[in-house]
Amino acid sequence: MKHRIATLTAITLIAAACSTGTGATTTVSDTMDPSGSSTTTAPIPAPQKVVVMTHDSFAISDATLAAFTEQTGIKVELLPSADAGTMVSQAVLTKDNPLADVIYGFDNTFLSRVLEEDLLVPYTSANVEALDPSLLLDTTGRATPVDFSDVCLNIDKSAFVSTPPPTTLLDLTKPAYRSMTVVENPTTSSPGLAFLLATIETFGETGNYTWKDYWAGLVDNDVSIAAGWSEAYWGEFSAASEGTRPIVVSYASSPPAEVIFASEPLDEAPTAVITDGCFRQIEFVGVVNGAARPTAGEAFVDFMTDVLFQEDIPLNMFVFPANMDATLPPEFVEFTTLPADPVMMDQDRIAENRERWLDEWLELVR
């Protein structure tokens, strides 16, 4: 901002100095060189920026963003949305007049929709060779993986002193755990959709007991459905809020956050992960189709996948970096439980069935 004010002041002074007694002026772009010939001076460019649309859980240190500006001269303007599902819907609604140059935080549950809606242009990150190849799901080269985690049930340990904690998805439908669970709405929330897909993959669509039977059981057991992760975790989960529900859909990497941000030092996390039915979530970034500043967008994609940014991810967003050269903080590793065999679902299957599944889910929970 100071640079911009100084530039405008300089232009004003030059214009004033060039004024003639008759009131005629010579503009900054119309000057005379010593030989008397007319020359044209290029206009002074405004400071460059990149606008990055993110979900509401995006977090990174100010120093890291400042490093990008120092390296490139490009200022970062963040445009936070709500949860990833809402963010994608917002991007779809505004795709003819994009709000941002870059979109970050859509995951593999929404990847097919992002690609179907043609929201991104192809761009290969300069750091692609360092990225975990198992995370490179987009064969069209438009979506670049930034981080991953596993969407899992988390429990408040203090609520299960006299009652054994649940250990499976099916346990949540039992009377012993009535009114204990809060999940996110899969139509607006990426972890909510991940959990829905995990139940579909686990219980199937045919047979004596399907995913629909499971959700009917959850509804009968008074499950609470929040709009997004923030509303569920910070609004209803008993371990993180004044809420009364000790079971929440969150992440395998949520317990370290409870330790690191505790008001007093803790030897162990007050929360734990149920590893049954965890869904592997991969978050992506891409340059927006029709972006006003695509080159700046490409530079930011490179920066997000570089080691400096990647090593700042775990203790800010509590997910794992996609860059295999990034070093993990020891406290993050110590308190994180990764499921041995997380649920995965082919993105083509998600694309073919997502809207039908969501419609069927809405019918079940109404």
- pLDDT value at position 209? 98
Q: What string of DSSP letters covers 162-231?
A: SSPPP-STGGGGSGGGTT-EEEE-TTT-HHHHHHHHHHHHHH-SSSSS-HHHHHHHHHHTT-EEESSHHH
- pLDDT value at position 359? 98
Are 344 and 226 within one domain? yes
- pLDDT value at position 33? 44
Question: 18-22, 284-288, 337-341 — which is least confidently predicted?
Answer: 18-22
Question: 27-36, 90-99, 120-129 — which is least confidently predicted?
Answer: 27-36
pLDDT confidence tier of residue 47, bands split at 50, 70 and 90:
low
The residue range of the domain holding 226 is 150-280+339-365
Are 301 and 232 within one domain? no
Residue 359 included in any domain: yes
Q: Residue 153 contacts by C-beta under 8 Å, 6 or more apart in sequence?
A: 166, 169, 172, 181, 247, 248, 249, 250, 273, 274, 276, 277, 278
Residue with tokens 């686990």: 202
Are 213 and 239 within one domain? yes
Report the domain count for the chain: 2
Residue 259 included in any domain: yes
Q: Which residues face 120 on adjacent strands?
A: 288
Residue 348 included in any domain: yes
Are 85 and 121 within one domain? yes
Residue 15 included in any domain: no
Are 350 and 295 within one domain? no
Judge contact between 284 and 106, C-beta under 8 A.
yes
Residue 25 included in any domain: no
pLDDT at 40 over 70: no
Summarised one tens digit per residue, pLDDT across range 186-198 is 998 889 999 999 9
- pLDDT value at position 2? 37
pLDDT at 362 over 70: yes
Region 98-107 average pLDDT: 96
Residue 21 included in any domain: no
Judge contact between 117 and 125, C-beta under 8 A.
no
What's at 20, amino acid-wise? Answer: T
Are 217 and 352 within one domain? yes
Q: How far apart are CA 156 and CA 163, in angstroms?
A: 12
SS3 116: helix
Residue 194 included in any domain: yes
Residue 23 included in any domain: no
Region 76-105 average pLDDT: 95
CA-nearest of 149, 140, 39, 55 to 105 is: 55
Are 198 and 273 within one domain? yes
Q: How far apart are CA 279 and CA 13, in angstroms?
A: 61
- 32 vs 101, more confident: 101
- 218 vs 107, more confident: 218
pLDDT at 9 over 50: no
Tell me what percent of the residues of the chain surpass a pLDDT of 70.
87
Q: CA separation (Å) from 345 to 43, 49, 222, 250? A: 52, 37, 28, 18
Are 176 and 242 within one domain? yes
Are 270 and 324 within one domain? no
- pLDDT value at position 82? 86
Full-model pTM: 0.76
- pLDDT value at position 16? 38
Summarised one tens digit per residue, pLDDT across range 177-221 is 999 999 999 998 889 999 999 999 999 999 999 999 999 999 999
Alpha-helical segments (H) within the chain:
2-17, 62-72, 84-93, 111-116, 190-203, 211-220, 229-233, 254-260, 294-304, 307-310, 314-317, 330-334, 347-365
Are 272 and 312 within one domain? no
Q: CATH code at 106?
A: 3.40.190.10
Q: Which residues face 323 on adjacent strands?
A: 131
- pLDDT value at position 84? 86
Are 174 and 256 within one domain? yes
Are 167 and 123 within one domain? no
pLDDT at 1 over 60: no
Region 104-110 average pLDDT: 92
Q: How far apart are CA 65 and CA 300, in angstroms?
A: 10
